Amino acid sequence: MDIISLHNYTRDIIQQAASKIRASFQQTMQIETKADVNDLVTNIDKETEQFIIEKIRQFDSSHRIFGEEGMSAETFENLDGIVWIVDPIDGTMNFIRQQRNFTISIGIYENGIGKLGYIYDVVRDELYYAIEGQGAYVNDERLSPLENLPLDEAIIGINASWVVENKRINYKKTGQLVRKVRGTRSYGSATIEAMLVATGRLDAYMSMRLSPWDIAASAIIAKEVGACFTTLKGQPINLLTQDTFIIANKSIQQEILDDYIELYD
């Protein structure tokens, strides 16, 4: 594939989709008072995904499209060929309640290999992207490789839900992790938190349950800055299923997995 043409085209798609989302803010405000908030947002999610799908089909109708809202009507049992993995709005609750802290996320894979990754924080106007082997950028600035640090100086992204008693993970061990590190944060968007790790603003982010479109772009960008991204069992991520996820500075990832994570099967 012609990487540069694809790169330029994808950036254009994202900017056009973002304009549509920004235009919806006023509409959102008006409709929130008289209709169901979740329905409305579903409409904007769907409209945005439909727009992106049409643009991809115009570019090359042989490309496959795997999106959160399932508008492409394709079922996915493999990643053969060129596959776009699309989340039109990651951080839907933030979008509804905050009108900030959400992104448009697109990962482009070729036979399962990540080629191009894009995460656009619409309100901050920050486009994070990477081309395989060419480094990662935010807008026009190249991201630096991450520097090592000890776990007790780390700031980690973890939702409080994974620190209270739950069926998926030993909460006492995640609680020990919270006490061990310097600080914790939670922003409500897996892509924003992953990009905070990619830029060294957080040192790890984990979740018990993410879908392929939550992590497809992040994985491509993470690789270019030397961040680790695996399941919480330390296995490679599988983009055909929902699973656990951690992205982390490589100097602390194994210690987190070994000493603080105990999953219940």
Q: In a 10 Å sphere around its CB, with 0-12 CB exposed, 13-18 middle and 19+ buried, how is residue 15 labelled?
A: middle
Rule CB under 8 A: is residue 200 a binding residue for its own copies? yes
* 93 belongs to the binding site for its own copies (CB under 8 A): yes
Q: Does 186 bind its own copies (CB under 8 A)?
A: yes
Indicate whether 251 belongs to the interface with its own copies (CB under 8 A). Answer: no
Among 135, 175, 226, 234, which residue sits at the site for its own copies (rule: CB under 8 A)?
Answer: 175
165 binds its own copies (CB under 8 A): yes
- Residue 35 as a binder of its own copies (CB under 8 A): the answer is no
Q: Which is nearer to its own copies, 79 or 193 (CB)?
A: 193
Burial letters 94-104, b for 16+ CB under 10 A, else e:
bbbeebebbbb
User: Is residue 185 part of the contact set for its own copies (CB under 8 A)?
Assistant: yes
Long-range contacts formed by 131-135: CB under 8 A, 24+ apart: 131/3, 131/7, 132/220, 132/223, 132/224, 133/224, 134/224, 135/224
The verdict on whether residue 68 carries a ligand-binding annotation is yes
CA distance 104 to 17: 8
Binding residues for Mg(2+): 68, 87, 89-90, 214
Report the interface residues with its own copies, using CB under 8 A: 93, 97-100, 124, 155, 158-161, 163-165, 175-176, 178-179, 182-188, 196, 200-201
